[in-house]
Amino acid sequence: NAGVTQTPKFRILKIGQSMTLQCAQDMNHNYMYWYRQDPGMGLKLIYYSVGAGITDKGEVPNGYNVSRSTTEDFPLRLELAAPSQTSVYFCASNLGESGNTIYFGEGSWLTVV
């Protein structure tokens, strides 16, 4: 029972590099989310998706892109990485109805140097 799977768990990037954080869920959830967590802070929503082919910006989308070509996968792309993107990234999913639990992945620790 995998739930929400994120890869990689840890990554160090140089300024200006690009990378993709992968997220997959096997629960047939419609809604998927990407959050970032900065030290001592709560989680801020980067992007979300309500179904395959549909994505929208959250609170802090600048510097990121997403796609949702399948129900299962929701990759997050960082273009031209900056030190301000050093953070822990969490992917989450939800069936898509009020009251359904939101399930989180284990997190991806990203450092930009």
Minimum Å gap between C-beta 65 and another protein is 19
Q: What b/e sequence results for 17-51 when a residue is b if at least 16 CB atoms lie within 10 Å of its CB, and e otherwise?
A: eeeebebbbeeebbbbbbbbeeeeeebebbbbbee
Question: Among 34, 48, 64, 74, which residue sits at the site for another protein (rule: CB under 8 A)?
Answer: 48
Cβ-based nearer residue to another protein, 38 or 79: 38
Cβ-based nearer residue to another protein, 19 or 102: 102
Residue 67 Cα to chain centre, angstroms: 11
Contacts with another protein, residue ranges (CB under 8 A): 31, 33, 40-45, 48, 50, 56, 58-59, 90, 92, 94, 96, 98-107
